Amino acid sequence: MPLDKTLSDTLRAKLRGGLLLPGDSGYDDARSIWNAMIDRKPAAIVRALGVADVVATVGFARDQGVQLSIRGGGHNIAGLALCDDGIVLDLSQMRGVFVDPSARSARAQAGCLLGDVDRETQLHGMAAVLGFVSNTGIAGLTLGGGFGYLTRRFGWTCDNLNAIEAVTADGRIVRASERENPDLFWGMRGGGGNFAVATSFDYRLYPVGPEIVGGAIAWAGDDIAPLMEYHRKLSAEVPPECTLVAALRLAPPAPWLPKEIHGKPIAAVFVCDTGPVAEAEARLKPLKAFRRSAGDICQRRSYVSQQSLIDATQPKGRRYYWKSEYLSEITPEFLAAYLDHFSRIPSPHTAMALFPLGGALNRQPADHCPMGNRDAKWVFNLTSAWDKPEDDARNIEWTRAAWNDLKRFSTGGTYINFLTEEEGDERVRAAYGANHARLADVKTTWDPANLFRANKNIAPTKV
């Protein structure tokens, strides 16, 4: 329902940024997000320009009892950025990045995309641990854990935070770190947007790039199954500097793939080796020489280009539906089932991805942060994507059937950022395991009235 004009005028007077209401020019564009499956109509959208706008909006939503959701990059599969009939606090214009090379740290405002951070940090030959798609928002990625090409070396994204600046439900601006508000810091490193509105993140940086060895190699036809088995064995041998992501899909019309295999099944390995370049090239020779690849763009390249390598596979405006699980290992039995479901893949845009995680995150205790799942070595993600609403049922049915079969190989845990709109409390608990109870205690301390509930919600233990 629309905001009363008196109330909307009251909120507008408190803001430096804009306020969009239904019917305003730009409203529909501002409420459109990456996943076209999500179509929600907020009563108002605040285009925040700074922390003062965040404080004003949080206070207004709290005092008026209005639903509040927070938008960073708008890239979450479940559409957590949007709420119906409430207020969307849109941080996407807050995109400053400030690098301190001597401290090996970067402070990034919460509206930044991954590419914003990578471009600034790479000027100094350093990188934060971020994700795989440069158009992803840093806030959702980091608050939900985060993993990418550097995770095997350095852990979850949230493992590599120095501090978070946030606005609490009662309107305070606080800094959360190991020394300041440590319980809030613990909760926000993987516990999602449940506790406060993050306005900036202080990331630990590592010497990476600017040149690395990376790219993609693809195989087709009878080479697919042997390649997947070889990838399984090779991934167990390479050092943490080398990340090999395997994906099964129908070949897109990419210029590096021969036209005769477009639309046909392929296995692709997305490579990122951040070790010394000569060593990386030597390490990857056996993979590049495996059988006869259908296409190979694995080469020396900039780390920034690597970080945007798969952007074109995830365009805004498609219909997306995912299912995922953590794995402690990839077995021949898992691969056989995986390939069987691949034989019935329904969409040319869908991929079955295997992301390696094993390394640094496994060395931390289970309660280091809410992410837990320190036994995970892999995550598989069925990234179903298609264009037309009339194809919803067919694609969702295939995804659920594959997931229901493959989850017998799961550790029992799942990645919170990959949960779809329909997945509720049971799956949230699976994501956090034994850390869920502690998260509920943090929620009770910092947001007892559950103002921040437009998320994969963790209810306070008492209200």
pLDDT digits (tens, 9 = 90+) for 162-174: 999 999 999 999 9
**Residue 96 pLDDT greater than 90, yes or no:** yes
Q: How many CA atoms lie within 13 A of 165 on its CB side?
A: 15
Report the C-alpha gap between 293 and 265 in whole angstroms: 13
Q: What is the mean pLDDT of residues 137-148?
A: 97
Report the C-alpha gap between 59 and 139 in whole angstroms: 21
Read off the pLDDT band of 4 (50, 70, 90): confident
Determine the pLDDT at residue 6.
85
Q: What is the mean pLDDT of the chain?
A: 96
Determine the pLDDT at residue 1.
59
**Residue 2 pLDDT greater than 80, yes or no:** no
Bridge partners of residue 72, in order along the sequence? none
Read off the pLDDT band of 7 (50, 70, 90): confident
**Residue 175 pLDDT greater than 80, yes or no:** yes
Tens digit of each residue's pLDDT (9 = 90 or more) over 206-236? 999 999 999 999 999 999 999 999 999 999 9
Measured CA distances, 226 to 87, 180, 230, 348, 380 (Å) = 51, 52, 6, 22, 19
Tens digit of each residue's pLDDT (9 = 90 or more) over 302-334? 999 999 999 999 999 999 999 999 999 999 999
**Cα-to-chain-centroid distance, residue 287:** 28
Phi, psi of 444, deg, nearest 5:
-60, -35
Determine the pLDDT at residue 300.
98
Determine the pLDDT at residue 79.
95
**Residue 463 pLDDT greater than 60, yes or no:** no
Global pTM exceeds 0.75 = yes
Q: Where are the beta strands (DSSP E) in 83-196?
A: 87-90, 97-100, 105-109, 126-127, 161-167, 173-177
Measured CA distances, 170 to 55, 81, 190, 211 (Å) = 9, 21, 22, 46
Tens digit of each residue's pLDDT (9 = 90 or more) over 268-279? 999 999 999 999
Among the listed residues 75, 306, 142, the one whose alpha carbon sits nearest the alpha carbon of residue 298: 306
